[in-house]
Amino acid sequence: MERVGVVGCGLMGAGIAEVSARAGLDVVVVESSDGAVEAGRARLETSLARAEAKGKIESAASVLGRIRVVSDLGELADRELVVEAIVEDEDAKTELFRTLDKVVTDPDAILASNTSSIPIMKLGVVTARPHNVIGIHFFNPVPVLQLVELVPSLLTSDETTARSRSFVEGALGKQAIDCQDRAGFVVNSLLIPFVLSAIRMLESGFATAEDIDRGLVLGAAHPQGPLALADLIGLDTTKAVAESLYEEFKEPLYAAPPLLARMVDAGLLGRKSGRGFYTYS
């Protein structure tokens, strides 16, 4: 596999594009507007300059030379693998997969989603090639974290799963785990209830955000507390994953607390907006 496409150049999409280009692959990234294209390119330049300064890559310019950021989905026509990394919204993702099915000309091309919660079957069945649709779920920050969840649906072919594993482990050098096609997969099914519990604790006045996070860092050896982690994930993404889990399982532990919903309504989304449970410069 040599030609990779990515749809979306936010934190996740840019990270997927970066690790693919660092692996020597030819990458096309598609954004929704010219302004988003410029923002995405700037995000890639900043990340790669930082990687070069830390000695993780020899040349940021050479990696950037393998990435094109454009606003036309038609540029994905010749891709062998396309990874969707847009907003965590089922309607938006299914509409995109309908379009990708028409745009990507190679009948053997893999159409993958980086969704953190939406069942892959729902994306596959809107295409004429559900056997080529799979979940390839990276974790943020993509250049740093080694885990990738591989999520085939009931209709995904064994060949698609094998080729996806080869891309993740062989080309990118990451480690894949196998997940069933159920909302939340492995990591978020365990992680999101934990984060929601911390939000409920804060909401009830039981403890401050600082003390909740300090307790888990110092008492359980977590690298960061659950509320700081929610800010990193994005509170809108946390809420979307929680809602997807609750819709599928109807378990109270998956229900988004009112505080989380109000913060998302207010645009307090965490690091991406400059303010969440903490304030960021």
CATH architecture entry for 188-273: Orthogonal Bundle (1.10)
Q: What is the pLDDT of residue 24?
A: 97
List the beta bridge partners of residue 134.
112, 152
Q: How many CB atoms lie within 10 A of CB 67?
A: 25
Name the stretches of the chain with pLDDT < 50: none
Terminal Cα distance for the chain, rounded: 40
State the pairing for strand pair 133-138/175-178.
unpaired
Q: How many secondary structure helices (H) and strands (E) does the chain include?
A: 11, 8
Q: Which residues pair with 135 in a beta bridge?
A: 113, 151
The answer to whether 9 touches 69, Cβ cutoff 8 Å, is: yes
- What pLDDT, on the 0 to 100 scale, is given for residue 86? 95
Dihedral pair phi/psi, residue 20, rounded to 5°? -70, -45
Domain with CATH 3.40.50.720 in the chain: 3-178
Catalytic residues: 116, 137, 149, 188
Annotated binding residue 102: no
What residues does CATH 1.10.1040.10 cover in the chain? 188-273
| 174 labeled part of a ligand binding site | no
Q: According to the annotation, is 47 in a ligand binding site?
A: yes
Backbone angles phi, psi at 27, to 5 degrees: -125, 130
Residue 140 confidence (pLDDT): 87
Tell me how long the chain is: 281
Which pLDDT tens digit goes with each residue over 100-110?
999 999 999 99
Q: Which residues of 222-244 are buried (b: 16+ CB within 10 A; e: fewer)?
A: eeebbbbbbbbbbbbbbbbbbbb
3-178 is a CATH 1.25.40.80 domain: no
Cβ 89 vs Cβ 240: under 8 Å: yes
Q: Which pLDDT score, from 0 to 100, does residue 281 have? A: 84
Say what the pLDDT of residue 7 is.
98
pLDDT at 139: 93
Q: Are strands 147-152 and 133-138 parallel, antiparallel or unpaired?
A: antiparallel
Instruction: Report pTM.
Output: 0.90
